[in-house]
Structure 1
Amino acid sequence: MKLFQKKADGSQDGLAINRISKKANAVLNTVFLLWALACVLPLILVVIVSFSSEQSIFENGYSFFPSEWSLDAYEFFFKLGDQLIRSYGITIFVTVVGTLFSLTITSMFAYVLSRKDYAYNRLFTLLMLFTMLFNGGIVATYMVNTQLLGLGNSIWSLILPMSLNAFYVIVLRTFYKSIPIEIIEAARIDGAGEFKTFFRIVLPLSKPGLATIGLFTTIAYWNDWFLGMLYIVDQKKYPVQTLLWSMQNSLEFMKQSSANALEYAEMAANAPTDSGRMALTVLVVLPILLAYPFFQKYFIKGLTVGGVKG
């Protein structure tokens, strides 16, 4: 295979260096196909097992072709009714509000650090990097959030502790530095202030970076169960992940949610185990899978933030 081809004038065709043979192309396509299947097949198996009966799982184990299909796992969880809907509502609220709030303060902080003319640029950069290396630990954080800030058993305890991530600040700062300074200077000449320049010029040019950070933040808020377990006492305020974690690890929750002991005994006897775990996974993952395509067009470009450009 020739990497370079000479043109009529004797120069070499630079595009030829990127060409590969058909055999190499077939091998690469096969490798990527196998890799994609390795990523997708476990998810498909989870969905199939969630629709399998407990007897089928007991007899055949986890299988792509169960001997008996069943909706028992989903029916079991949907018996919670209002509690499940309420928890989904709390999670959606926390995810939406938390993502918007996090993007707001992260983008503004990153923009300030990207400006070389800011007098305290180095100081705040060092303070930000310090938080990536050291933290006060769970006990100190819990005391500050509950005793000092009064966030105990509050929905804001699910939002504020995760609202600023130093790594995301670095990513956005790098993205802002890729914006030509001439654009910002032109806005200044036209009489735009700092806030107008930021909101009217910088943010629209930063959509790929914001979408990438927004996707990561959304996933973090949606999947978080630890803050609910740590700060929330009232089960009616549980986000869906904490609710499902509680259901999975303790039948005491079902006992408290049941109208009477007979209902509890019936639920405990019919509680799915293996298929229930998979149904929990589907209930948690499905909304994120449905939301991802809306971010996809920005996601790949955002991942190349800070890449070397030729």
Structure 2
Amino acid sequence: MNPKASVTSYQRASKLAEIILHIIFIAFSLACIMPIVLIVAISLSDEKLLTLQGYKFWPDKLDVSAYQYLFTNSTTLVKAYGVSLSVTIIGTILAVLLIALYAYPIFRKDFPFKKAFNFYLLITMLFSGGLVPFYLLYVNFLELKDSFAALILPGLSNAFYIFITRTFFQQTVPEEMIESGKLDGASEWRIFFQLVLPISLPVLATVGLFTTLMYWNDWFNSMLFINDTDKYSLQYVMIQMIRQAEFFKNQLAGSGVALMVQEAVPTESLRMAMVVVSIGPILFVYPFFQKYFTKGLTIGAIKG
């Protein structure tokens, strides 16, 4: 068999496989991008044409009435943006820190109460006290009604994320590194912050990303605990806007001015405009965490 012919056929097969993989990844990327493009197109579409023609990637008539309706009360929207950003940033930092602080001791083999704390976590995953005790705890016992703490505290701990972080510690953090830190006279706090956390950035970034999405998309806690309109989260303000628009539209739909109401109060395009407005900060979060995914995989390695 001719060696040159074998090399040539291998190169052709490799090139063909590379082309096929590129096509697959391009198709997958388009499948992820096209829904966002469609959402933006619907938000810029005329409400009447949406009803008559359905969704289109390129609207026949551009209309920004949904954004005009959305920003009618821009002061409330800006305040809600500030509330959601503050709660998301503070809550994510505290949640990641607390989850790591809980996962670290139960990962250590020399921690005497490890089984009890693991069992406690498991119980919280299987059973829940229900909504009424949850509400009474924050309102009557902790007295956190109309406070930012009521928006932050419920998301500070998650048993599933703690188990994920503990498992990552078990598979990544060598016992030899902790022992060497003790021999050098390092305290437990110094071992945790200077030795364990730097090589645990991948799991911290993953938990941080999920926690960020949870805080940013939360509206339920605002509905339960907040009566002050200046402390409403962005998602809850948007839910109120769409409910008001639908109520107004349903009330006047049977009065002979249905078409005029449909043009004045866009509901379908308003929903998509809300998605566009609320998705902005999240698009900037992914590159930030992606940097730490890569960085965490390359630092803190132990030489054998």
> What TM-score range do you get, normalising by the shorter chain?
0.7 to 0.9
Unaligned runs of 5+ in 1: 1-15, 255-265, 304-310
From 111, 136, 139, the equivalent of 1:143 is 136
Corresponding residue for 1:50? 43
Alpha-carbon distance between aligned partners in 2 of 1:93 and 1:253, rounded to the nearest angstrom: 31
> How far apart are 1:31 and its partner, in Å?
3.7
From 270, 280, 283, the equivalent of 1:286 is 280
> How far apart are 1:42 and its partner, in Å?
1.1
Corresponding residue for 2:58? 65
Secondary structure at the counterpart of residue 159 of structure 1: helix
> How far apart are 1:39 and its partner, in Å?
2.3
Amino acid at match of 1:90: V
Q: TM-score, normalised by structure 2?
A: 0.83
Alpha-carbon distance between aligned partners in 2 of 1:46 and 1:246, rounded to the nearest angstrom: 20
Amino acid at match of 1:199: F
Work out the percentage of aligned pairs sharing the same amino acid.
Answer: 43
> How far apart are 1:35 and its partner, in Å?
3.0
Corresponding residue for 1:307? none
From 12, 24, 29, the equivalent of 1:36 is 29
Secondary structure at the counterpart of residue 196 of structure 2: helix
Alpha-carbon distance between aligned partners in 2 of 1:228 and 1:267, rounded to the nearest angstrom: 30
8 Å CA contact 2:48, 2:262 repeated in 1: no
> How far apart are 1:219 and its partner, in Å?
0.7
> How far apart are 1:32 and its partner, in Å?
3.8
- Does the alignment pair 1:122 with 2:115? yes
Q: TM-score, normalised by structure 1?
A: 0.81
> How far apart are 1:56 and its partner, in Å?
3.0
Alpha-carbon distance between aligned partners in 2 of 1:22 and 1:134, rounded to the nearest angstrom: 54
> How far apart are 1:180 and its partner, in Å?
1.3
Alpha-carbon distance between aligned partners in 2 of 1:137 and 1:294, rounded to the nearest angstrom: 36
Corresponding residue for 1:233? 227
Corresponding residue for 1:181? 175
Alpha-carbon distance between aligned partners in 2 of 1:35 and 1:217, rounded to the nearest angstrom: 26
Alpha-carbon distance between aligned partners in 2 of 1:302 and 1:137, rounded to the nearest angstrom: 38
Unaligned runs of 5+ in 2: 1-9, 249-259, 298-304
Counterparts of 1:140-289 in structure 2, within 5 Å, are 140-177=133-170, 178-251=172-245, 270-289=264-283
> How far apart are 1:30 and its partner, in Å?
3.5
Secondary structure at the counterpart of residue 166 of structure 2: helix
> How far apart are 1:112 and its partner, in Å?
0.9
> How far apart are 1:81 and its partner, in Å?
1.8
Higher mean alpha-carbon deviation, 137-146 vs 239-248, is at 137-146
Q: Deviations over 1:215-262 (max 9, x none)?
A: 1111110011111112112222110001001111235999xxxxxxxx
8 Å CA contact 1:132, 1:166 repeated in 2: yes
Alpha-carbon distance between aligned partners in 2 of 1:118 and 1:223, rounded to the nearest angstrom: 36
Number of residue equivalences? 275
Distance 1:67 1:267, change over 3 A: closer
Distance 1:115 1:253, change over 3 A: farther
Amino acid at match of 2:156: S
> How far apart are 1:133 and its partner, in Å?
1.0
Q: Kindly report the root-mean-square deviation, in angstroms, between the aligned alpha carbons of the 2 structures.
A: 2.6
Secondary structure at the counterpart of residue 266 of structure 2: coil
